[in-house]
Amino acid sequence: MKKRRSSTDNKDDTSKQKKSRIGGQKQKKPCVLEEDDSVFGQLLRAAGVSLRQGSMPNEIAVDQTVFQMRLRKGLRKHPRYPNIVQEFITGLESYMEDQEKFKNCLLPCALLSAEGESSAVNSYQESLIKLLLGIEMLQSPVINTLFEKLPEFMFEGAGEDGLNIPRIIINQFKWLDRVTDSKDLASKLMQLVAVAPVEIQRDIITSLPEILEDTQHNDIAKELNSLLQKNTQLTVPILDALSSLNLSSDLLAEVRQAVMATLSAVELEDLPVVVKFILHAISGAEAVEVVSDLRKKLELESCVLPPPLQASQSRAKSRGKGGSSLNSAASSSQDCVSLVLDAIKSAVRFQKAISEAWIKAIENIDSVAEHKVIDLLVLFILHTTNSNHSRRGAERVLRNKVRGGHIRESLLQAAFRGHTTVIRAYFPSIISLAQSLLRSPDPSVVTFGSQMYKHAFTSFDPYCQQEVVGSLVTHVCSGYAGEVDVSLEVLSELVTQSPADMALYAVFVKGILDYMDNLTPSQIRKLFYILSTLAFSRGTEGSHIQDDMHIVIRKQLSSTVSKYKRIGIIGAVMVVGSMGTRRSKPEGVSSEAVPLPKETYRQVTALLGLVRSCSECSPEAAALYYDELANLVQTGDLDPQVHEWIGISVLEDFQEDFVVDLGPEIKGTFPLPAKAMYNLDEEESQGGIAINLLPLLAEDLQKGAQLSRPAQGDKRRVSPLCLGSFFRLLRLCQEEQNQGDLVEIDALLGCPLIVTDLDVVEKMDCLSKPEKEFLCTLLFHAINWIREVVNAFCRQQDPEMKSKVMIRLQNITYLQSVLERCLAATPAYAPPLANFDCETAEGAVPASAAPPAKKEKKGRAGQKRKVDKNSSGDSSQLEEGAEAEESQQEKESPEKEKEKEEGKAGVSLVSYRPYFRELDIDVLSVLQCGLLTRSLLDSEDHTKVSEVVQLGPSELVFLLEDLSRKLEFSLAASNAKRMPFLKVKADKNVGFSHLQQKSPSEIASCCIQLLPALCNHLENTHNFFQVLLLENNGVVDAPGVDMKEYQLMSTCYQLLLHILLTTFSWSGFSQHENRKLLKSALAILAGRLKEKENEVDLGMEELVRQSFGYLLNFHSTIPGCSPALSLTQLLIVVADQGPDSQYREKIASLSRGFLCQEWILPSGEREKGNKHNEMLQSLLSIYLEHTDDVLKAIEEIAGVGFPELISTTKDGCSRTFPTLTRQTFLVFYRVVMGVLEKSVRRIAAGKQMDSSEAQSEKLLTWNLAVRDFHILVNLVKVFDSRPVLGVCLRYGRLFVEAFLKLAMPLLDYSFKKHKEDVQSLLKTFQQSTRQLHYMCGHTKIRQDTGLTNHVPLLKKTLEQFVYRVKAMLILNNCQEAFWVGNLKNRNLKGEEILSQQTEDSEKGEDDEASQLPEEESEREDEDNEDKSDSEVRKGVQEEEEVEEDEEESTDDSD
């Protein structure tokens, strides 16, 4: 009854107190005190604390310290001391039996003011329990009392008043001034953790650092570590506690290792804390290892919803209902990823060692499959930090990884697709990196930068989109061709994919119109496509851009400067394409197209009429107009009315301008006699038609000397320059009108050309210079006409037409062989333009118009003349192919001499390619043709005979070269071997304007359709060489071998392999949407092994296995080093699509076989030359990269191959490696030294905890590496040329540095257990370092700055080696075995350098190691040290000025 009454009174008091506060009056509230006459209550009152009833806080009238002092004094001076302490505790326990009173004791006291008011506002007061815990004599019993009380509340949780009693009890132990028995308290806490619920466990663990003294930190950390292994629910609190504990470095490393082991099993929401702990307090020495391990186990991919769930989530978002659980799951996972990255960011920002460790860890990954999204995200983080070092490092690593093909676009796509919200925080870094990558000279890096822009635009908010567009426009206006091309391409794709989003930023793009002077025609075409799409695709919304574009176009068209007129023509046609596009009705209304509005149709036709009238007076402008319009007809979906308007006059105009009736004789006076040639319709030779080429050319040359004459009435100036362009437009209009049928113009395929009799070529020396130039121009126009005819009719299915197309190809190859001879006799000749959308100046002479004689055999096959047919082998060779076979052509000097005597030498047409019309990719379908038969009318007997027409070797080479060039241009931008065309003049794009309209995936698809035909040709070529080898018993240079035919077939082999390599190397295959395309390509190769029905269900791994086996079969007939390298690289690319380990051994065996093969030409000489050396270098690198034991392979080359070479004659070769000659020694030496240095850097550094077996294994590896190094260094005594010395000095220093960094720690810990092995290792290495020292002296004598630049860094490294060995001896208590001497400077022959003789005369007798007594192993080790030391000591005397460390690191990176 008493308790209830006091409670009621308490409530009344509380309400009165509240009223007084509201009223703002100071009323003295009644003091309801707890009547406690026990010793406990009396002592508290005496000390200054009054216990209150109910929920009111206890009152303290004095300062807390005064209270504790009074209570301590009261207890000590009490008559019953020390028993009074126990009585006090008993009173406390009995008082706390009431829960309200216990709660009051745990809550802060209220300060009693002088007026008797209690106020908790003035200052914070501790709770009664906390005050009692601050008294030493009471601390332990109070702690025991609290631990006894705590279980009563353990499972109750928070009460109605929101107080969690267990948590408040634990808080009482925090921040005590002194803990009398810390160990006991820690033990009690851990016992409580073992039985408490999870919530209380977490509270206790997180409070431990604030409760325990530092002496207990290590012990409690061990217990927490063991608890962590058992209970993953407590991961976060345990790691929080461990982060705040003061631990020893060893214990911290042990705990970190245990945490790392559980990383893969950690809950997603706990991951940020785990990462933060792992990166906590890492020392520089262990940073790389810890970060590498963390990066390996951190799987952010698991934080992303699978694609099906992503799709359903996006659908739910679009419907605006459902998907709440998916949304919450996605957002929580992204929040966790964001927190993980924040933890990494914090560690990187405040610890430089961790920043460098992340860069190193990512650098060390050398496999595409091992790279993860976390790598990209960390690089973004490193770039955001304020440190210039980490920004530059991140940029450098990303650029190198992209260039090496290790970080690909698929990884970038995964990062943006799975972590959009997370990456948004790093948008400034993404833009900055994209800008930097886009300025790179490497095409693969540029492509990656463009992908960053695209993903940033499509993934982020409008602010980011605006920044992306602004940055791209800045690139376009920069004036650098590479940046402009890629930026316009990105803008073009964004306009196509997201027209609504891009329309908001059209005003940015419009600003580029002010910078068109610096743009090439292809760039202007892209710009006007972008602008016209933005302006006309959204109705009246783009009207402000429409007006500006019309103004610019009309202004440019009216210009008399050809450059500006060209801009006007291109812009006008692109605008027509956007305005006149076919419009379709909404779905379900009608399938018919909506007619073009009359006003729009009027504007389109008016604009086309304006362009035509402005371009009539200039053949180049007219030809460009026809070409642009043809492209529009071919690629644009034009309205039928516009099509009809364009096609009305095209056919009549063409017939009127270029076609004449063929009579018995051709009237007129011309520079050369006119004659109708290349008629395929013999039966219609009378009364047929012909292309009026020679008369038109003669007339045009006369008019060209004068200004255009508009006064001649309606007659336009007709020039052969327009012939190809006009016919292309005519053909495309006919295809559009007749659904691909060209029956109305099929007569143009077989009709003759009016040219001249080509017998005049035999009399070139008798012609005047104008006549020679006229003949060359005539041949160019004739070839370009036939190329356009082939373009037009190549897809026709009629067998008669197919056979005519094949003969037209023969005409091209023959005419080109004739043209080569004419060009050789016409120096400084400027060909007529054939591609008009380029910057090529009129009258420009090709750079290599008169190449050396070794490229003279560039003819194409004639129709029925064996000499011409054979001489056509290399005429249209791919540039790389031509250079690759350079060495073979060099060998054919006797034949070339004969040809020169016959006067049939020609120049290469490689440099004249811009002056030929582009072949469409459809022409390559001719590769699928087999034997074709056509009927002929025999002119003598007037009887029908049939002739078999087939694709000859020269035509095959012609088509394969064109295909190879197209694939190189479209697909090979990411190949490391390709010279970056973006950095060179924009004219590299000339001849590919039609190709540029197709995407790389379309080109790859076309090539895969041709794959069966290419395989047929590859097998036929293989069979040719197989038969050849069988007939000649494997002898290539047998007397009966036709060298020209051999050369031609060898070129076919190389081109076919190169085409397959370029196709399968396409980086687009790594993208998910192109995997089906890759699978179909591999299925074609796999299907060649057996003619059974295709097994559609084969998996990728099986397809790769069968494809690899099919291609491997060709290795036996490879005719040269160039196709050998192509085949090896092709096999590597195919093998990369499957498990790599299966194929490494086969690739190593194959490349070794090619290195062990003697490449002999039909002339009997070995292949040689720079190109041959480059291919050997690639083959050797592939062999050493794929072999199982690199060091053994190096030992075989260094220990067997090189000695064999030394023992042979000057022109001899190694028996084991026939490709190793004195000419190729440098290639082998450079590769072997470089690979050796890289391989030792991959050996793990020695650690103290390594087992004896592990130490022995590493010592054995280092012994083998040092032995190889010793052999290679000593080879310099025999091969002492400058390049060899340079290679040895450079890689010698890098090897010694790797030895210091990786091998010396191993020797430190294994010296006592493996003393003899260490001694042997150092003795061998010392001999190498001595030789390096002699080389330094030798380079000083020669005074070659290129070599002496290596000397300071090398000598510095040698000195470091000496003192590092001394440190090792001291560590193992053998310092007395070390002594210092001087080593004489000698040259490579061992002769003393006289300039140093006087300096060393006093110590001359002590220098030689041979005079030192050999004692126990320690003394022998001493010898090694002192010799090595003496080398460097003398080096220091000779070269005091040692370069700085950053020079060393610069050289290292090389």
Tell me the residue type at 1296. V
Calpha distance 105→149 (Å, rounded): 13
Amino acid found at 640: P
Provide the pairing of β-strand 110-112 with 49-50.
unpaired
Are the beta carbons of 1393 and 1434 closer than 8 angstroms?
no
Q: What number of helices (H) and strands (E) belong to the chain?
A: 64, 12
pLDDT digits (tens, 9 = 90+) for 881-908: 333 333 333 333 433 343 343 344 568 8
For residues 313 and 1409, give the distance between their C-alpha atoms in angstroms, rounded to a whole number. 78
Q: What is the dihedral of CA 983, 985, 988, 994, to 10 degrees?
A: 100
Place 1037 in a pLDDT band, splitting at 50, 70 and 90. low
What b/e readout covers 881-914, taking b as 16+ CB neighbours within 10 angstroms? bbbbbbbbbbbbeeebeebeeeebbbbbbbbbbb
The whole-number average pLDDT for the span 112-123 is 59
pLDDT digits (tens, 9 = 90+) for 440-461: 888 788 889 999 999 999 999 9
Distance CA 1108, CA 1092 (A): 18
Pairing of strands 674-677, 689-691: unpaired
User: Which of these ranges, 941-950, 992-1001, 1077-1086, has the smallest mean pLDDT?
Assistant: 941-950
Q: What is the mean pLDDT of residues 50-59?
A: 84
* Region label for 740, one of left (φ > 0), alpha (ψ between -120 and 50) or beta (otherwise): left
What pLDDT, on the 0 to 100 scale, is given for residue 589? 47
More confident residue, 1378 or 1137: 1137
pLDDT tens digits, one per residue of 1383-1432: 677 777 667 766 544 444 444 444 433 333 333 333 334 344 344 444 43
Q: Residue 1443 — pLDDT band, cuts 50, 70, 90?
A: very low
| Angle, helix 235-244 to helix 198-211, in steps of 10 degrees | 0
Nearest partner of 982 among 528, 513, 447, judged by Cα: 447
Confidence of residue 32 (pLDDT cuts 50, 70, 90): low
Percent helix, strand, coil in the chain (nearest 5)?
Answer: 70, 5, 30
What tokens does 1099 get?
């998996």
**Which residue would you say has higher pLDDT here, 1247 or 338?**
338
- What's the token pair of residue 450? 């463009």
How would residue 247 be classed by pLDDT, with cut points 50, 70 and 90?
Answer: confident
DSSP string, 1084-1114: HHHHTS--S---TT--HHHHHHHHHHHHHGG
What confidence score (pLDDT) does residue 1397 get? 46
> DSSP code of 863?
S
Instruction: State percent of the chain over pLDDT 70.
Output: 78
Distance CA 1399, CA 1436 (A): 13
Q: Are 152 and 107 in contact (CB under 8 A)?
A: no
Q: Which of 911, 1059, 913 is nearest to 991 (CA)?
A: 913
Structure tokens at 1267: 């032995």
433 pLDDT above the threshold of 90: yes
Q: Measured between alpha carbons, how far is 833 from 996 in angstroms, rounded to an integer?
A: 20
* Rounded average pLDDT over 802-823: 90
- Residue 980 tokens read as 């970056």
Per DSSP, 1406 falls in state G
Query: Which pLDDT tens digit goes with each residue over 630-657?
Result: 988 887 678 888 888 888 878 888 888 8
What are the phi and psi torsion angles at 1184 (to 5°)?
A: -70, -25
Above 70 in pLDDT, residue 1209? yes
Average pLDDT over residues 36-63: 85
- Give mean pLDDT, residues 676-680: 87
Decide: 529 and 490 in contact? Cβ < 8 Å: no
For residue range 1101-1117, what is the model confidence (pLDDT) as tens digits?
888 889 999 999 999 99
| Cα distance between residue 1406 and residue 1417, in whole Å | 20
**DSSP string for residues in 391-442:** HHHHHHHHHHHHHTTSS-HHHHHHHHHH-HHHHHTTHHHHHHHHHHHHT-S-
Give yes or no for residue 271 having a pLDDT over 80.
yes
Query: Residue 466 pLDDT > 90, yes or no?
Result: yes
Predicted pLDDT at 1132: 92
Q: What value does the mean pLDDT take over residues 843-852?
A: 50
Cβ atoms of 146 and 172 within 8 Å: the answer is yes
- The token pair at 289 is 């290892």
- How far is Cα 519 from Cα 481, in angstroms, rounded to an integer? 8
Using DSSP, state whether 726 is helix, strand or coil.
helix
Place of tokens 């345990």: 238
Neighbour-count burial for 844-864, b at 16+ CB within 10 Å, e otherwise: eebeebebebbbbbbbbbbee
Round to whole Å and give the CA distance between 669 and 671.
Answer: 7
Asked if 59 and 128 touch (Cβ cutoff 8 Å), the reply is no
**Confidence class for position 879, pLDDT limits 50, 70, 90:** very low
Two tokens at 212?
């325990």
Distance CA 840, CA 830 (A): 11
Measure the CA–CA gap between 123 and 1134, rounded to whole angstroms.
77
